Amino acid sequence: MALWVDKHRPKSLSQLDYHKPLAQHLKKLVNSGDFPHLLVYGPSGAGKKTRIMCLLREIYGAGVEKLRIEHHSFNTPSNKKIEISTIASNYHIMVNPSDAGIYDRVVIQDLIKTIAQTNQLDSEKMREFKVVVLTDADRLTKDAQHALRRTMEKYMSKCRVIMCTNSISKMIPAIRSRCLGIRISAPNQEEMTSVLNLTCRKEGINLPPELAERIIAQSERNMRRALLMCETCKVQQYPLSPDQTVDDPDWMTFVKQTAMKIIEEQSPKRLLDIRSRLYELLAHCIPPETIFRTLADELVKHCDGTLQKKVIQAAANYEHKLQLGSRPIYYLEAFVARFMAMYKGFIQDAIMDFDDFDFDES
């Protein structure tokens, strides 16, 4: 059973719905013959993976779409065996180096070396190089990035690297200078609307424009999420009505409920409760950065004035510390505790002001 996201994914550069000038450039790049290493970056759900697949299809033809799962095992210098599974076709291989944890350097070097050493079954039509796609490249350790830059140089003739990452600032400048950076920004409202309408037409469904608007607003310019939300709406109730409820992902609802609980009561008791909810989120593999962001945004909605600024500053502070530490629950809890203290003080001040005000009046 295929989701709409996968079913209606554009397969070639000409089928892309937005960022068309970029698609043109990419086509030219492919045809020019000298293809550099690429660094594709952009927010989640903007279409990076889609475009990489289209690009590969442009380079190698339809054979790229025959995917299979391969398992590789590598030996680290400390004699530990790492098993990685990759998705590959005859022309390219897709790997997520953060699967290997701290041994990603070894995995990448070995993999690229292996790829570079195997020759293509040569025919004139084929390219001489293979492509290695590294997904989640911002999770690479600095060690791996330094090693990668050397490896990229060395095996340039046989192997091209396409990196896919959310934020470019996590890549070291050396890698950025060796790659052509391709920025994929999130689609704007009109683009998203047109895509949604197109998809619904293909599915034979009538999408009321108000519902489309609400979906787009709630999806935070994330195309993937918007399509999934749309599909959920259809499953929940068809024919679609303009005032249908649009569901958030579960974890987001959970975080919003947590924020409500924090606003309701500020005490150590409540903090204990919140802690167990945070543990629940962490156990569902939601990254702590996302929890910070969503929680901060939610909490800010219930504050005003100077408190908002303080909240966001506290969130930034604790999130930064979280990157340096190793146990995320401490920082999440510390942030909640600080918010509680600030909010409590804020409420008490407001009440006192109110009382004073009354007193003055009378």
Partner 1 sequence: MSSSRSLTSRKSSKEWGFESDFTSALPQCTRDRRTGRGISEEKQCWLIKHAPKSRLELAMHKKKVEKVFQVLTDSLTQKRHKIIILTGPPGVGKSATVRALAKDMNCSLEEWVNPIMTYEVGVEYESEVSKFKSFMLASSRYNSLFGDQTDQDIVRKPNARKLVLVEELPHFLVRQPQEFWDIIKTYSRTGLYPVILIISDSSNVVKIPPDYLNISFNPVAETFMSKVLKSICQKEKLGEIDVKEIVARSEGDLRNAILSLQFNSTTMDHGAVKGPTKRRKVEQKLTTDNAGKDTTLFFFHALGKILYAKRVEDSKMDCDDATLGRRQLQFVPEQVAEKCAVSGGMFTEYLHHNYIGFQNQIENTLLVTESMCDSDVISSYWTDEKEAFSRLDWYAKSLTGRGVVFSKDESFLPKFMPLCRPVQRDISKTCHELQEKCRDVFALQHMGTNSSFLMDTIPFFKKIGYKARNSEEYSLIHKMCSYKTSTKCGVSLNNTDGVEEEKESHKSSCKSKEDADMVISKEMEEEIADFSD
Partner 2 sequence: MAENFTGGKLKLKGVKDGKVKKKKKKKLNEDVVKSEIKRESEESGTSTLSADTVSKPKVTKTKAELAFLKAQQKREGEKILKKAETSHKERVEQFNEHLDNLIEHFDIPKVSWTKMDAFLQGRSGIKPKVAAAAPVSTAPQFVPWVEKYRPRTVNDVSHQVEVVAVLKKCLEGDDIPNFLFYGPPGTGKTSTILALTRQMFGKEFGNRVLELNASDERGIQVVRDKIKNFAQLAVSSKTVNGVKIPGIKMIILDEADSMTNAAQSALRRTMEKFTKTTRFCLICNYVSRIIAPITSRCAKFRFKPLDTSVLDDRLHHICKEENVTCGDGVIEVIRQVSGGDLRKAITYLQSSARLKKDEEVTKQDIHDIAGVVPHTVVERVLELAKSGNYTKLQRGIQDMMHDAYSASQILEQLHDLIFEDSSLPDKKKSAIMEEIAKTDKCLLDGGDEYLQIMSLSTVVMTEYSEL
- Subset of residues 42 to 81 that bind partner 2, contact rule: CB under 8 A: 42-43, 46
Give Cα separations from 301 to 89, 245, 267, 298 (angstroms): 48, 21, 20, 5
Q: Kindly identify the residues of this chain, within the stretch 131-190, that bind partner 2 according to CB under 8 A.
A: 146-147, 149-150, 154, 156-157, 167-170, 174, 176-177, 180-181, 183-186
Question: Is 41 a residue that touches partner 2 (CB under 8 A)?
Answer: yes
Single-letter amino acid code for the residue at 190: E
Give Cα separations from 30 to 23, 33, 92, 202, 214 (angstroms): 11, 6, 15, 30, 38
Distance CA 96, CA 135 (A): 5
From the list partner 2, partner 1, none, pick the one residue 213 interacts with, judged by a Cβ distance below 5 to 8 Å according to partner type. Answer: none
Q: Kindly identify the residues of this chain, within the stretch 132-161, that bind partner 1 according to CB under 8 A.
A: 133, 135-136
From the list partner 2, partner 1, none, pick the one residue 113 interacts with, judged by a Cβ distance below 5 to 8 Å according to partner type. Answer: none
Question: Is 297 a residue that touches partner 2 (CB under 8 A)?
Answer: yes
Q: Which of 14, 169, 236, 241 binds partner 1 (CB under 8 A)?
A: 236
268-283 vs 288-301: helix crossing angle, rounded to 10: 140
Give the nearer residue to partner 2 in terms of CB position, either 55 or 88.
Answer: 55
From the list partner 1, partner 2, none, pick the one residue 191 interacts with, judged by a Cβ distance below 5 to 8 Å according to partner type. Answer: none
Q: Which two tokens mark 167? A: 């934020």
Interior/surface letters 327-351, b for 16+ CB within 10 angstroms, e for the rest: ebeebbbebbebbbebbeebeeeee
Give the nearer residue to partner 2 in terms of CB position, either 209 or 287.
Answer: 287
Nearest alpha carbon to residue 138 among 69, 49, 42, 55: 42
From the list partner 1, partner 2, none, pick the one residue 29 interacts with, judged by a Cβ distance below 5 to 8 Å according to partner type. Answer: partner 2
Distance CA 327, CA 296 (A): 19
From the list partner 2, partner 1, none, pick the one residue 231 interacts with, judged by a Cβ distance below 5 to 8 Å according to partner type. Answer: partner 1
Q: Kindly identify the residues of this chain, within the stretch 208-247, that bind partner 2 according to CB under 8 A.
A: 220-221
Give the nearer residue to partner 2 in terms of CB position, either 101 or 242.
Answer: 101
Nearest alpha carbon to residue 198 among 343, 4, 38, 328: 4
CB 72 within 8 A of CB 84: yes
Q: Which of 3, 198, 217, 350 binds partner 1 (CB under 8 A)?
A: 3
Residues found in the chain: 362
Nearest alpha carbon to residue 47 among 166, 139, 215, 142: 166
Contact letters for partner 2, residues 308-337 (x by CB under 8 A): xx--xx-xxx-xx--xx-------------
Which residue stretches of 155-238 are H helix?
A: 173-178, 189-203, 209-219, 223-236
Contact letters for partner 1, residues 157-186 (x by CB under 8 A): -------x----------------------
Question: Is 190 a residue that touches partner 1 (CB under 8 A)?
Answer: no
Distance CA 108, CA 144 (A): 8
Residues that bind partner 2 (CB under 8 A): 25, 28-29, 32-36, 41-43, 46, 146-147, 149-150, 154, 156-157, 167-170, 174, 176-177, 180-181, 183-186, 220-221, 289, 292-293, 296-297, 300, 306, 308-309, 312-313, 315-317, 319-320, 323-324
